[in-house]
Copies of this chain bind each other. A is one copy, B any other.
Amino acid sequence: MIAQMDNPPPREKRALGFKPLYGQVRDILVARLIEGVWKPGDPLPSEFQLAEELGVSQGTMRKALDELVGRNLLVRRQGRGTFVARHDQQRALFHFFKLEPNDRSRRLPTSQVLGVATGTADNAEREALSLDAGVKVIRVERLRFFEGKAIVRERISLPRAIFAGIEEREALPNTLYALYALDYGVTVAEAREELRAVAAGPEDARDLGLAPGTPLLEIRRVAVALDGRPVELRVSRCDTGHCRYVADLR
């Protein structure tokens, strides 16, 4: 059993505080993912084992697992098992990357870091990342390329309290979210993006090889970790002469 063991009424189902069993099971599984009991790529115990451990039926465990698969936190492979999702698998890669080159090929761009710096969070960063005044952030500026052509200029802000030492690494990988998960225990679970059209500034123009004032697509993304903390602010300015932002509404 789960929480009910402490309380005499074995199935607490009040009008307001009702929480289904599979929801409690799901929360327990999420907590284990946050704690790092299972790491990216690890297999979970079988559905039957998990169900027996938590004292629920396989059907209930299945429903809990289903929800986590739906949130892209787990991956099922028939005949093999259920695994913790990784941020560097083809399927998951494009979940947080919606730019597509105009030739419709689906590739990830390469990256070139322009600079890494540490500073005090400005107002925008404090609001986006829920930081107190005076807190330090790490800022990464980089360019991203499709087929050797610079398409995106990107500024990434990270709380130093979470990503301490990341500013001293010799190199940063192209897929940062896999790095966050493996080296900092931070699983990016969701993100909110706000898009605007802006005019290219002098630096945008220089780095992207455009005239100043050229319209650029600005993507402002706040990434949220499994535990609900906002962990990254990323502002990308994209030359939509060579790519476009694609969204499927279903």
User: Which A residues are within 8 Å of any B CB, using their own CB?
Assistant: 71-72, 95-96, 98, 189-199, 213, 215-218, 238, 240, 244-250
Q: Are B244 and A195 in contact (CB under 8 A)?
A: yes
- CB neighbours of A245 from chain B (8 A): 194-196
5 contacts between A and B (CB under 8 A): A72-B250, A98-B249, A191-B248, A194-B244, A195-B244
Given contacts A197-B197, A197-B240, A198-B197, contact A247 B192 (CB under 8 A): yes
Q: How many copies does the complex hold?
A: 2
Q: Are A216 and B197 in contact (CB under 8 A)?
A: yes
Cα distance A244–B244 when bound, in Å?
A: 16
Cα distance A25–B249 when bound, in Å?
A: 24
Cα distance A213–B211 when bound, in Å?
A: 13
Given contacts A71-B250, A95-B249, A249-B96, contact A195 B217 (CB under 8 A): yes
Q: Is the interface of A mostly helix, strand, loop or mixed?
A: strand
Q: Are B217 and A199 in contact (CB under 8 A)?
A: no
Given contacts A72-B250, A95-B249, A250-B72, contact A215 B190 (CB under 8 A): no
How far is the CB of A27 from the nearest CB of chain B, in Å? 17
Partner of A192, one of B71, B196, B246: B246
Cα distance A192–B190 when bound, in Å?
A: 21
